[in-house]
Amino acid sequence: MAIDMVTTIQVEETTKQLLEGLKEEKKANTYDQLIREMIMKEKEIPKSMFGTAKGFNLKVERLEFHEVKLRP
């Protein structure tokens, strides 16, 4: 069984409230699921390709994606 690494990120209280509302609206089970879906939508990654990005430098991708932009 693989163990997923988890981490904590700091966001302002208003950002947390926006995430909570969006999580409810999108019926996401976790913040991780919500954030992944937002990234996939922003990067235009089809769900069928998620998790198959072997060979991509994910560390660079994470550094480039440092800010979540919520759209009304």
Q: What is the pLDDT of residue 26?
A: 93
Residue 19 lies in a domain: yes
Report the number of distinct structural domains present in the chain.
Answer: 1
Instruction: List pLDDT tens digits, range 3-57.
Output: 778 889 999 999 999 999 999 999 999 999 999 999 888 888 776 655 555 445 4
Residue 34 lies in a domain: yes
Residues 6 or more apart whose Cβ sits within 8 Å of residue 11 = 19
Contact 70, 22 (CB under 8 A): yes
Task: Give this prediction's pTM.
Answer: 0.56
Range of the domain at 56: 13-64
Residue 5 lies in a domain: no
Residue 1 lies in a domain: no
Residue 72 lies in a domain: no
Residue 2 lies in a domain: no
Residue 39 lies in a domain: yes
